[in-house]
Structure 1
Amino acid sequence: MDSLDADAPEDPADAPPRAGLTRNRVSVFALAVITLIVLVLCWRMTEPFVSALVWAVALAIVANGLHRRIARRVRRPNLSAGLTTALLAAVLLVLAAAIAPVMVEKAREGWEHLRSDEVRQRVDDLVRDRPTLARAVAWATKQMPSSDEMAKQLAPRLQGFLTGSMWGSVQLLVTFFALFYLLRDRELALRWLRSVLPLTARETSRIFKRVAEVVRASVLGTVLIAALQGLLGGLMFWWLGLPAPMLWGLVMFVLSILPVLGAAIVWIPAAGLLLLEGSWEKALILTLWGSIVVALVDNLLYPVLIGKQLRLHTLPAFIAIVGGLVAFGATGLVIGPLALAMGVALLEVWRRRLPAH
């Protein structure tokens, strides 16, 4: 009996696992590859809308208090989120609808004024006894295209401009579409994030709080600095006797919110017009005011304000803001400080988890 038991075949269940490929390992490997492919495809689909989604998240965080107040009076989640989204969209659209036509009209008037006989006469009087300036003005005049030439140059680019405008409209629609669901399903989204993040409940709450502080400081800081730039620009327009200082102050406020544009789009042409009219003292004052005072408000005060709100040193806050703008464009105003603050928060998590020795 012992010999028979010794010669009996071993039970496969009792045999030690063999090295190499097994059905389970192949299954896990295939699942990992499929997951990676799906994630890459999802990222490729989401990448064009990253800016829109970032701004949707930022608006959702900033408007959370407003949405809570509306939700206390309107008990239906869809209606309260819709009202909050519609209110934010109305504010932005009203500002754009009020300012855009004025800017276009003023730009057209300024262009026609530059090409008028009156300005030409003033330029001739200004440069009559200044040969160097006369050569520079003559060169600039030759470079200035006529209306027909400008139309011919702009015609090929019109399609690209229209395509970009349509894509910008799509991005805006995606922003407010996502904002609605972020407001309505905020608690559901936060619960899902808590379930997938490899953090404790206390660590997750700390990071969520940090993210909210960063976004509020970035967005509200941008609006505050833009308002200050518009105020400073409008006051200088009023002091120099330029027309419509309140209007142009409002225009500079709106343009200062967009880092690609900025208040310089307003005060640089104004300084040029003053120079062409012979008011070189006013042109110099406006240039110095815009390039030093207004620009420093944006480049220095904003990092100081954001760094104070985020409890970060001014230097890393400045690098995060400028680096974010360079890497991500306008969205970098949010992504840059947010990435820095989250990095600091995650380092704090590691510091607490790792032993001291």
Structure 2
Amino acid sequence: MTPSDPHRKAERVNMLVLIALTLGGALICALLALPFSGALTWAFTLAVLFSPLQSRLEKYLRSSNLAAAVTVLAAIIIVAAPSALVVNRLLHGAVSGAAYIQSELSGGKLQLPSFLAKLEQQVDVSGLFNQLVTTLSNTGASFLRGSLRQAIEIILTFYILFYFLRDRKAASQAARGLLPLNEAETNQLFERITGTIYAIVYGTIMVAILQGVLAGLMFWALGLSAPLFWGVVMSLLAIVPVLGTFVIWIPEAAYLAWEGHEVKAVILALWGALVVGEIDNVVRPILVGNRLKLHTVPVFIAIIGGVLLFGTPGFILGPMAVTITLFLLSIARRRTLGPTP
């Protein structure tokens, strides 16, 4: 054994220790960032969408801080304010409606429709409705308490967005220094990430419009009031994570059943569940896949699997993970086997 062998062995051991420490540190950093995954994901998404506005403002305002502040304000007005207004109105209406129904049922002022009156002979329908309304009221109260957490996440989102916008060039340079890719490959990766975000946003908006149109048309066909207005509201709700068109058509179907329009209630419920609700899982992967030039099946798995794994940020993280992985695999193949003939 030559004298250099122990030295090389020590170098390999040191390298393995360094790799282990680096992986351990990366894991700890990932765990530290996990509670902020939602805010980080939405902030990064908004930063990609609003970075063109930030670039233009920087030219006119000559200050990256001021440009970032104005851009964040624009993002709040365009994205957060309409969503908060719609959700607030719906929550207020739901809680008020639940309290009204409970008081009317307790006072015996509401009469059960015919089909429920017959069922009451075997089942305590009024008691069930009281229990249901109480549950809804408690759920609404829990949702309002949980809204504090959502409010904190929203504040963190726009707080992080400010720095993502202001320091985007420095962050880009730092990422380029860490990635084991050349300049052309790094540019391609960034273009793939940006394209993925635009594709998801495009697919979400298109599906939301389609859901609102289909739901509004059914409202019109059944002779319900203000189909255009409720169609627009349902389109907005379809964009908001966690919420959806069901927030409108489920109470409307229940109201129709209560008023004795059982057939209309069943039609609306089936249309909402089987057509309006399921079209999201069918059309969104097609739209996103077409823009990303990926097959519908992996896009479907990326979106649904991302939501199941990460929650609502999974809408972005799932497809982005698939896009980045496929790109890195193509780079590895190109370096190993050479360019595809």
> Could you tell me how far apart the structure 2 residues matched to 1:260 and 1:97 are?
13
Deviations 1:22-56 (A, max 9, x none): 98778667655654554344333222111211111
The one of 110, 121, 132 aligned to 2:111: 121
TM-score by length of 1: 0.81
The one of 76, 79, 82 aligned to 1:89: 76
Q: Any residues of structure 2 matched to 1:185-200 within 5 Å, and which?
A: 185-200=167-182
> Could you tell me how far apart the structure 2 residues matched to 1:251 and 1:326 are?
26
1:201 maps to 2:188: no
Equivalence for 1:6: none
Query: What secondary structure, in the 3-state scheme, does the structure 2 residue paired with 1:330 have?
Result: coil
CA contact (8 A) 2:102 2:134 kept: no
TM-score by length of 2: 0.84
Displacement of 1:298: 0.7
Check 1:79–1:280 CA distance in 2 against 1; reply closer, same or farther (3 A cut).
Answer: same
> Could you tell me how far apart the structure 2 residues matched to 1:108 and 1:158 are?
8
Deviations 1:310-337 (A, max 9, x none): 1011111111111111111111110111
Deviations 1:190-215 (A, max 9, x none): 12111111112111111111111001
Deviations 1:90-126 (A, max 9, x none): 2334214432342134324543247647984351x33
Displacement of 1:225: 1.4
> Could you tell me how far apart the structure 2 residues matched to 1:314 and 1:95 are?
31
> Could you tell me how far apart the structure 2 residues matched to 1:317 and 1:353 are?
26
Check 1:97–1:35 CA distance in 2 against 1; reply closer, same or farther (3 A cut).
Answer: closer
Check 1:29–1:146 CA distance in 2 against 1; reply closer, same or farther (3 A cut).
Answer: closer
Q: Any residues of structure 2 matched to 1:59-208 within 5 Å, and which?
A: 59-111=46-98, 112-113=100-101, 116=104, 120-123=110-113, 125-127=114-116, 133-134=119-120, 138-145=123-130, 154=138, 162=145, 164-208=146-190
Q: Which amino acid aligns with 2:242?
A: V
Deviations 1:331-356 (A, max 9, x none): 11101111111122112112211126
Q: Which amino acid aligns with 1:77?
A: S
Check 1:22–1:59 CA distance in 2 against 1; reply closer, same or farther (3 A cut).
Answer: same
Q: Which amino acid aligns with 1:233?
A: A
| Gaps in structure 2 of 5+ consecutive residues | none
Check 1:197–1:257 CA distance in 2 against 1; reply closer, same or farther (3 A cut).
Answer: same
Query: What secondary structure, in the 3-state scheme, does the structure 2 residue paired with 1:19 have?
Result: helix
CA contact (8 A) 1:85 1:179 kept: yes
CA contact (8 A) 1:119 1:276 kept: no
Query: What secondary structure, in the 3-state scheme, does the structure 1 residue paired with 2:278 have?
Result: helix
> Could you tell me how far apart the structure 1 residues matched to 2:23 and 2:191 are?
31
| Gaps in structure 1 of 5+ consecutive residues | 1-14
Equivalence for 1:289: 271
> Could you tell me how far apart the structure 2 residues matched to 1:191 and 1:283 are?
57
Check 1:285–1:338 CA distance in 2 against 1; reply closer, same or farther (3 A cut).
Answer: same
CA contact (8 A) 2:305 2:318 kept: yes
> Could you tell me how far apart the structure 1 residues matched to 2:131 and 2:5 are?
83
> Could you tell me how far apart the structure 1 residues matched to 2:110 and 2:15 are?
78
Equivalence for 2:202: 220
Check 1:90–1:206 CA distance in 2 against 1; reply closer, same or farther (3 A cut).
Answer: same
Name whichever of 88-97 and 189-198 sits farther off.
88-97
Equivalence for 1:237: 219
Q: Percent identity?
A: 36
CA contact (8 A) 1:324 1:335 kept: yes
CA contact (8 A) 1:233 1:294 kept: yes
Equivalence for 1:263: 245
CA contact (8 A) 1:255 1:261 kept: yes
**Which protein is bigger by CA-based radius of gyration?**
1
The one of 299, 302, 318 aligned to 2:281: 299
CA contact (8 A) 2:204 2:239 kept: yes
Query: What secondary structure, in the 3-state scheme, does the structure 2 residue paired with 1:102 have?
Result: helix
Q: Any residues of structure 2 matched to 1:312-331 within 5 Å, and which?
A: 312-331=294-313
> Could you tell me how far apart the structure 2 residues matched to 1:16 and 1:119 are?
98
> Could you tell me how far apart the structure 2 residues matched to 1:60 and 1:297 are?
29
1:19 maps to 2:6: yes
Q: Which amino acid aligns with 1:228?
A: L
> Could you tell me how far apart the structure 1 residues matched to 2:129 and 2:166 are?
53
Q: Which amino acid aligns with 1:297?
A: I
Check 1:44–1:161 CA distance in 2 against 1; reply closer, same or farther (3 A cut).
Answer: farther
Equivalence for 2:233: 251
Name whichever of 103-112 and 72-81 sits farther off.
103-112
Query: What secondary structure, in the 3-state scheme, does the structure 2 residue paired with 1:95 have?
Result: helix
How many residue pairs align between the two structures? Answer: 335
CA contact (8 A) 1:113 1:119 kept: no
